[in-house]
Amino acid sequence: MRAAWYSRFGPAAEVIELGELDTPDPAPGEVRVRLQYSGVNPSDAKARGGTRPGVTKPPFERVIPHSDGAGVIDAVGDGIEEARIGQPVWIWNGAWQRPYGTAAEHICLPAAQAVAMPDGIDMRIGAVLGIPGLTAAQTVFGGGDISGQTLLVSGGAGAVGHNAVQLAKWGGARVIATCSAAGMEHVRAAGADVILDYSDTDLAAKITDAAPSGIDRAVEVEFGMNAPLLAEVMKPMATIAAYGSGKDMTPTLPFGPFLFKALKVDITLIYLLEQPERDTIIAHLHRALTAGALVPAIDTVYPLAECAKAHEAVMTPGRAGAVLLDVT
């Protein structure tokens, strides 16, 4: 099979290789998927770049990157019904703590990690349901029903944020979203009720004007940087569902304001969800997709041979959607 991989950390163009590897056979309890698309996420580029503190080399001798993807099951291991052969599926946690992810023509993985695609859903959409889709669904619905609530979505033009805006509207919430000036039309098309420039020096006041009673739930991509703002705009007993803090990974929190509002901080790392909780948010995603309420945005599709360019693109600000590899 054709695959892209790296064996050392460094710039994408210098360390990502393309070549032929043996096509794997599924172990007991596994399925093999003939992939059509591989989803590229910022976490993939960061892992390849070796940016995590204290990590000096890749965890495996050869790493095929990417956790997300979509394709068709073409073989099953012992214990898996042969009826699954031919089933279109999307992948989660393909490369999480495993050497071989979805930047290849085939992947073998536990059967539960190959989710049957809803009828009529494009394979390209399936390839972005893993990290961007599940993160959005968990941060929006992880606390239960949001009907009638006011949600604040930071970074509403990003892949997760754009999905979150759509899911929150489908769930019956009023949505206030922040983004750059360039992303406002993209976020408006997703259904946000109020769109604000995240660089506005009066952002807290404008959020308060839009939600005088406070925010019920915040979907937060830059928790450390935005913690003081959140202390001002959240409703007492509200929840901050944080999934990122890239600009400040060691934040100093305004604990007093958090304390006297009894704010809850719910940190999401989608890789670690237990299966029952994961099944619940997968069901949310599938219902929203089949209802036409969720249309994940796709910015660029690269061929497998341009995996390095895809890694560069996913880290470039201003994207209007996900980055994929075509691995057919």
Going along the chain from its start, the domains and CATH numbers come out as 2-128+296-326 (3.90.180.10), 135-271 (3.90.180.10)
Contacting residues for 256 by C-beta, under 8 A, at least 6 apart = none
Distance in angstroms (rounded) separating the CA atoms of residues 89 and 233 = 41
Give strand pairing partners of 176.
152, 194
Task: Work out the burial of residue 206: count CB atoms within 10 Å of its CB; fewer than 13 is exposed, 13-18 middle, 19 or more buried.
Answer: middle
Distance in angstroms (rounded) separating the CA atoms of residues 126 and 64 = 19
Tokens of 189: 């098309």
Cβ–Cβ < 8 Å for 35, 102: yes
Distance in angstroms (rounded) separating the CA atoms of residues 271 and 135 = 9
By DSSP bridging, strand 88-91 and strand 106-110 are unpaired
Residue type, 210: A
CA-based R_g, the chain, Å: 20
Taking residues 222-247, report their average pLDDT. 97
∠ Cα 127 131 135 (to 5°): 130
By DSSP bridging, strand 88-91 and strand 114-116 are antiparallel
By DSSP bridging, strand 68-76 and strand 30-40 are antiparallel
Distance in angstroms (rounded) separating the CA atoms of residues 44 and 47 = 5
- Say what the pLDDT of residue 54 is: 83
Cβ–Cβ < 8 Å for 324, 124: yes
- Say what the pLDDT of residue 139 is: 98
Most distant CA pair in the chain, distance: 60
pLDDT digits (tens, 9 = 90+) for 89-102: 999 999 999 999 99
pLDDT digits (tens, 9 = 90+) for 188-220: 999 999 999 999 999 999 999 999 999 999 999
Distance in angstroms (rounded) separating the CA atoms of residues 277 and 64 = 28
**pLDDT averaged over every residue in the chain:** 97
pLDDT digits (tens, 9 = 90+) for 139-152: 999 999 999 999 99
pLDDT digits (tens, 9 = 90+) for 171-188: 999 999 999 999 999 999
pLDDT digits (tens, 9 = 90+) for 264-303: 999 999 999 999 999 999 999 999 999 999 999 999 999 9
Residue 318 confidence class, pLDDT cut points 50, 70, 90: confident
∠ Cα 182 188 193 (to 5°): 130
Whether the model pTM is above 0.95: yes
| H/E element, 124 | helix 123-126
Distance in angstroms (rounded) separating the CA atoms of residues 141 and 163 = 12
